Chains A and B, each alone.
Chain A
């Protein structure tokens, strides 16, 4: 039996001398390790989920815009040469899917309610591989794959323009006549019932006006399908099958309005997506706002969110002459990146506090153990055991305790992790819907196990315990044999 084996054996026996105390300290260490492992899994899980909400319900992993579009959503600021750009995006090895989008601001009304919204035109076929809105549909179904049949517009001919001017002048003349016929406001005139029936616009003129209007803004053969968020559906009081009225302004300044049919209601848990957005087919929105085949945005998905910045750099470089604005999700939402960092930092802070408290427990335990054995240690010293060996003995004792705690704690932590991964933490018990920086978390947060999240607490707890052992070990090593042995 070598001297080191003897030392460990001695240390082990010493721990067994007050089983209850060692057990309590060991359990405290084990619990702090388990707590840190579980918290880390939860924070990582939350971060993964926030990134998922952000990228898979809205942004995608990276986006391409015309320069200036992200700062100001101008309808006319579209991506030049969109087909070529789309090809270049899809050609990147990291890109799994890409989809084109068009945006327009609109006023939406249903019944007597109306509110301002963002219209988003998507191609459901490609969009389903970028975002998961279709899976989040809670009522009805998401947009169908095909656009609404919609005749093409054409400019007015010279003769039609002349006819249009004639109609305008004739309406203006009628209005002037109507104004001329009005009596003066006298002292006796106040509220009174309508004195004269409105002269209806002559039928042929009305028909002609409608004909001209339909040349410039043809009507679709049926109301286009739209899908909207659950909060918006509640505000407007609509369900699948109901009608909506959309009013917007086309890129050429023409006022456009359309009746649309709700086919689906989705719920992402993120209030901004659920309250203020209406999705319709890309072609439908392009028709409505007279954009032809122009698009505002390409959203793409990479193999993983972390691959996005590099892919964005490559795509921007390959399209350099077009001077496009290509950004990864982390560049589009730097506020979210800060939020994620904060979540992680929060975990670190918690670990620091937990381990500091645990280390106090270790110091206390070991100090007690040393003071309790003053006579015995004095005897050992008197028999000629060197101070370094006594020091090593106490440190080994602590290390054994820490190791036992870490092993038990890791087992508990992994158990908790597995529960978090499979069952998840149901936040509905605590609160109704959680969002961070406006990005919603699903009601059940699932944990995510990372190797670092398991190893780090073990390493830290061992280090902290060894540091905590220094003072008691030093006290033991420095003891004068005579003083120690005189104690009773």
Chain B
């Protein structure tokens, strides 16, 4: 026999076997409090869990199990402004990540390529026809004169793995596409053992239905710093290869006002079967 359960109505209170459980306001209140206590004790864990999922989805939005893209990169510095065209091949296997970036033009950079297999980074210089292995110590250096570091390009650090998220603010606003979306500003603190260079990251993402898209990412050198040393912005959300992704990202550095590097995806395909031969020194040449 199923009773409709309503704890505050003594008449509808269930009988359990021979014993009638006597209604008591006290007991009712106690159980409510217990229920609340359980909710309270569970909720931070539950929220952190979902925050982590948000970070994970936003951070990895431009990568699938594999991806292939043609992009152009605009670099503006006080000394020069130029635009590079390049092709990026990426493949994540359970064992290692592999990335090949090859510059298609203009002339002074054509043929330069960067190959990353696991933790190993290699540069190919067409002017000397020589492949050089690059130490991890150079991961922080500028890549091809842009404001991206070698590390950004090969995406060694994973926000969801290396950092612990906590919510700073949450609001509902219109997103780039005019939809009403929930914007989360998330504080990312590096895990004690994570091999990362930042003291703190503030990551802003929006969620609309099933879609989680990064908006901006502020990087701080130290945990307590007030101003970010660099800011990465994501925009130009559109459908590419069946997914809604930000098709442009721009990086600015606090120490170099007026300068920026912008990456725009011209073509992007996900989960394509890239042959292993793509990630070899032969393919770099």
Contacts and interface: CB of A to CB of B under 8 A. Distances in A.
A183 interface: yes
Given A107-B123, A180-B269, 5 more contacts: A168-B106, A192-B275, A212-B107, A252-B79, A257-B125
Interface string B52-95: 00000000000011101110000101011010010100000100
A167 B105 contact: yes
Nearest to A167: B105
Contact of A172 (B133, B137, B266): B266
Interface string A106-130: 0101001111100000000000000
Interface in A157-207: 164-165, 167-169, 171-172, 175-176, 179-180, 182-186, 189-196, 198
A261 B74 CA distance: 35
Contacts of A212: 107
Contact of B77 (A191, A196, A253): A253
Contact of B79 (A183, A251, A258): A251
Q: Name the residue in B68, B69, B283 with the highest tally of chain A Cβ atoms < 10 Å from its Cβ.
A: B68
9 contacts: A107-B132, A172-B266, A179-B87, A179-B272, A182-B68, A184-B273, A185-B272, A193-B277, A209-B111
A186 B266 CA distance: 25
Contacts of A198: 277, 282-283
Contacts of A109: 130, 132-133
B46 interface: no
Nearest to B145: A253
B133 A112 contact: yes
Nearest to A245: B130
B105 A171 contact: yes
B132 A245 contact: yes
Contacts of B144: 255
Contacts of B109: 254-255
A185 B271 contact: yes
Contacts of B275: 192, 194-196
Contacts of A255: 108-109, 112, 125, 127, 144-145
B68 A245 contact: no
A156 interface: yes
A216 interface: yes
A450 interface: no
A171 B87 CA distance: 9
Nearest to B82: A253
B87 A164 contact: no
B128 A182 contact: no
A267 to B, nearest CB: 24
Interface string B100-123: 000011111111100000000001
A253 B130 contact: no
Closest 7 CB pairs of A and B: A168-B105, A194-B277, A257-B125, A109-B132, A171-B104, A257-B127, A182-B272
Interface of A: 76, 107, 109, 112-116, 156, 164-165, 167-169, 171-172, 175-176, 179-180, 182-186, 189-196, 198, 209, 212-213, 216-217, 219, 245-247, 249, 251-259
Given A189-B273, A194-B277, A245-B128, A175 B87 contact: yes
B135 interface: yes
A116 B138 contact: yes
Contacts of B69: 179
B274 interface: yes
Q: Name the residue in B108, B135, B275 with the highest tally of chain A Cβ atoms < 10 Å from its Cβ.
A: B108
B222 interface: no
B108 A213 contact: yes
B276 interface: yes
B27 to A, nearest CB: 54
A115 B274 contact: no
Interface of B: 64-66, 68-70, 75, 77, 79-80, 82, 85, 87, 93, 104-112, 123, 125-128, 130, 132-135, 137-138, 144-145, 266-267, 269, 271-277, 282-283
Given A194-B277, A217-B127, A259-B128, A172 B70 contact: yes
Contacts of A156: 107
Contact of B85 (A172, A180, A219): A172
A259 B87 contact: no
B97 to A, nearest CB: 14
A193 B126 CA distance: 26
B130 A257 contact: yes
Contacts of A184: 271-273
Contacts of A107: 123, 132, 134, 138
B65 A185 contact: yes
B269 A182 contact: yes
Contacts of B80: 252-253
B141 to A, nearest CB: 8
Nearest to A112: B133
Nearest to A76: B79
A195 B277 CA distance: 9
Contact of A185 (B77, B106, B137, B273): B273
Contact of B107 (A113, A186, A194, A213): A213
A252 B145 CA distance: 10
Q: Name the residue in B66, B80, B134, B275 with the highest tally of chain A Cβ atoms < 10 Å from its Cβ.
A: B275
Nearest to A246: B128
Contacts of A219: 127
A222 to B, nearest CB: 14
Contacts of A253: 75, 77, 79-80, 82, 145
B71 to A, nearest CB: 10
Nearest to B102: A175
Contacts of A217: 108, 127
Contacts of B68: 179, 182
Nearest to A183: B273
A471 to B, nearest CB: 63
B85 A168 contact: yes
Contacts of A168: 85, 104-106, 110
Contacts of A164: 105-107
Given A247-B123, A247-B125, A254-B108, A114 B132 contact: yes
A183 B272 contact: yes
A216 B110 CA distance: 12
A114 B128 CA distance: 14
Contacts of A249: 145
